[in-house]
Structures are given as C-alpha cells and as structure tokens.
Amino acid sequence: MSVTYTFPKGFWWGSATSAAQIEGASNVGGKGKSIWDHWYEQEPYRFYGNVGPTTASDFYHRYKEDIRLMKAVGHNSFRMSLAWSRLIPEGRGKVNREAVDFYDRVIDELLSHDIEPFITLFHFDLPMAMQYEGGWESRRVVDAYVEYANVCFKLFGDRVKKWFTFNEPIVPVEGGYLYDFHYPNVVDGRRAIQVAYHTIIAHARAVEVFRSLAIEDGKIGIILNLTPSYPRSQHPADVKASKIADLFFNRSFLDPAVLGEFPPELIDLLNEHGHVPVTQKGDAETVQKNKVDILGVNYYQPRRVKAKEHVPHPDSPFMPEWFFDHYEMPGRKMNPYRGWEIYEKGLYDIMLNLRDNYGNVESFVSENGMGVQNEERYLKDGQIQDDYRIEFFREHLKWLHKAIQEGCNVKGYHVWTFMDNWSWMNAYKNRYGLVYVDLETQKRTPKKSAEWMRAVSEQNGF
C-alpha cells in the first residue's frame, strides 16, 4: 500500500504493559505481595468476574514466545515495568536473585530480537510491606523507592537506556486516596495531596540517582496520562473550571517533572483551602535540579468540564470536583464499552502544548488504545477482526503526524497493549491487545490490528 503519512527515521513502534498486568506468577519465584495481591485476597468480589492478578497473561513463563511474537508484529521497542515486590520482596533490603535472573533473561531476549526495552520502575504495584509503613504518605517509603531505583539502574543499566520513574502517578492518587478504585481505598483530599507530593519527590530523587551513575546513552523520564481539559464554552466561568481541572490532573505532575516547579496557581488554591502538603527543606531544589530528559504521554480520552452548578456541601471531602462539573458534549464519539469519549485531536493538542509551554521536551506516545468487551463476537476464520481498533490507531496517528509536521519533538508511538492483559479491577472485562489471549489455554492469536501495526512499523507510516 502507498504511504501517505511517513514518520521520522528511527521512530519507536511498539507497545506498553506492566508487570502486575502480564507476569502472573504472583506468588512464584520468591515474589513478595503487592497491594494488588493483598486487596484481591481481601475483596475478590471487587474485581470483574472475581479475577485477580495471580496468573494474568503468564508472561513470567511465556516471555520467549511473547517476545518472538512482538518481533513478528513489528515492534522495535517495548515498555514494561519491573515489579518492585518481585525484585525486593519486602520493599527494601534483600534483593531476590530469582527475580534478577528473570528480568535479565527478558531484557536479553528483547535485545536479541532488536527490540529496545523501555523500563518503568513503578506501575501502581506497591509492595504490601511498604503499604504497611504508610505507603506514599510516608517519607520512609520514598527513601525505599529511591534505593530500589538505584538497585535497578545498577542491575540493568548496562543494557537498558530508557528509564521511567512512574507510570501515570496521578492514578494511585485518584484511585487510592480520592475515588476508591485502588487500594488502600482512602477518600481524603489532604492525604491524596501528600501522596502526590511524595511521588514527585521520589521521582526527582530517582532522577538524581540516575544522573549520578552516568549511564552511557541513558535517558530518564516519567509517563504521564495527559488528559486535555476542554471547557464547555468560552464563558469565563467555564474556562476557569477547565484551567483548575488542568491544574489538578495534568500540571500537578507535568510542571514539576518538565519545568522543575509546582504551578503557583495550584499552590495558591491548596493554600486557600488549607490543603498544602507537608514539605521538607531542600525539596524545591531537588525538583528544580532533576527535570526529565524524556516524557511519555498516555492518551485515551479528553476531559470536558463546565462551571459548578451547585456549591459543594461544606462537610463533604475536599475533591477536585469542588471546582468544576464534568460535561458531556452532545454528539461526542464514544467507546461504549469503556464509557470513554474518542477524540483523536486531543493528542495533537497535548503535543502542541508541550511544544509551546514545556520547551518542546522530547516525548513519545507511551500508551494509546481501545478496550472492547466480548471481542469474540468479531471472530472470523480464527482471527478477531478488530477494525474499530485499527481505526482508533489510524485516526490518532494522523493527528500525531500533523503535530510532528508542525515541529513537535515526538519520537514514537506505543499502543496499549501488546496482548490482552489483566486490567486492575476491570480484570479482563475490556480487551486492549494486538494479540488475543485465551484465558483457559493461554494461547496467543494475533488480531487483525496486529497485522496493521506490523505494516505501519515496516513502512514507518501508512
């Protein structure tokens, strides 16, 4: 097929996933418990179909087959995370040799297939031992994380050159401390803000350690789920609402990670409501000195907001929604299974914002994908005909291409995800993979979208 949209030479084509979502073997090979293992034991009924992380997609045992398949579907790069609770079962102290051997084998296997490993240090799966110490509310856990990062850099930095401190750090804040969809299921704005603050300090200190090790050709960054906030109208009240939503959900991590400082407007807002986090001397300097080399952008959907219609109840917990209401735009295009709006131009808007307001930081799309329920409906001649997913990728890539043409510093596009994986409380409700996984047999079968992505990668465009 002729290529209309060509991407820059050396563009990263691949996918992303996380340890807890694919590895399985959750109590095998000396692994300690994560908060997900613990929560599933406590409340299995909160997970779709009562399916927990015990087996997931069994990457732990099938990584060789999976990496061969990644190569076959055109990957030249792959982002995965390390499980802190596998590598250091108690969160600090003794390193688990079996885990080191496992990750060594995975990294070497990727490299032997010319697939560059991108490694995320933390993707939601805190060791339970660290949660018992107070989780991200505790500075001691920040210290333990920095030591864990140091161990990882030293073990794998000879082969891994792209590192990311956190994946979507706002999500454990939202899920664990505001909206009750991650453990420890706290609803408390003050504690949420402290968790967010400590995560940024942990990130900056890990960057500092990475730089001190002077890893040859090494780059370090963070993965943020940037969700543009669009106001319902240009009325000043709607515009103000969208700016506050942007402060809470995007700029809270984007500004310190890329610019080295917290947004003054956010500090003022928290001050006004008595919710400024507890800080330590030297924190601001640590954040200022340890800006990222590279930014991963996860994009799924826009956030549409409008001015508040009702004053929040004075006794209700402090929430970002004190300052805006969510707005459903008439005529929007939807993914009905996930309940998310599909708005491809959002990706372009994000990249222009990074170009114009964040020094055109080196970036890549680190996740973009579409989850669909009961995909077996689309099975024909032994293959899932997921044309809806191909359309999703293609239309986002058109806008990404336009952003690159207009000078945005974008280096790659990773889909979520390589194969159907376990998705937290949703388990296997919505499937996102290029490759179908039969949960009974663990058999892998590439979907139509895998063939499409392979062609895009081979031609470096479409």
- For residue 219, which of 62, 363, 344 has the smallest C-alpha distance? 363
Q: What is the dihedral of CA 313, 315, 316, 317, to 10 degrees?
A: 140
- For residue 86, which of 110, 57, 65, 60 has the smallest C-alpha distance? 60
* Tokens (6 digits) for 332: 């929007």
Catalytic residue among 116, 174, 344, 367: 367
Q: Which helix (H) or strand (E) holds 262?
A: none
CA dist 60 and 26 (Å) reads 9
Give the contacts of 99 (CB within 8 A, at least 6 positions apart): 29, 30, 31, 83, 86, 87
pLDDT tens for the 462 residues of the chain, in order: 689 999 999 999 999 999 999 999 999 999 999 999 999 999 999 999 999 999 999 999 999 999 999 999 999 999 999 999 999 999 999 999 999 999 999 999 999 999 999 999 999 999 999 999 999 999 999 999 999 999 999 999 999 999 999 999 999 999 999 999 999 999 999 999 999 999 999 999 999 999 999 999 999 999 999 999 999 999 999 999 999 999 999 999 999 999 999 999 999 999 999 999 999 999 999 999 999 999 999 999 999 999 999 999 989 999 999 999 999 999 999 998 888 999 999 999 999 999 999 999 999 999 999 999 999 999 999 999 999 999 999 999 999 999 999 999 999 999 999 999 999 999 999 999 999 999 999 999 999 999 999 999 999 999
CA dist 390 and 370 (Å) reads 10
Q: Which amino acid belongs to residue 192?
A: A
* Tokens (6 digits) for 304: 């549409």
Q: How many CA atoms lie within 13 A of 423 on its CB side?
A: 19
Asked about 367 being catalytic, the answer comes back as yes
CA dist 69 and 81 (Å) reads 19
CATH class of 12-459: alpha beta
Q: What are phi and psi of 94, to 5 degrees?
A: -60, 130
∠ at Cα 199 (222, 202), nearest 5°? 80
CA dist 46 and 50 (Å) reads 7
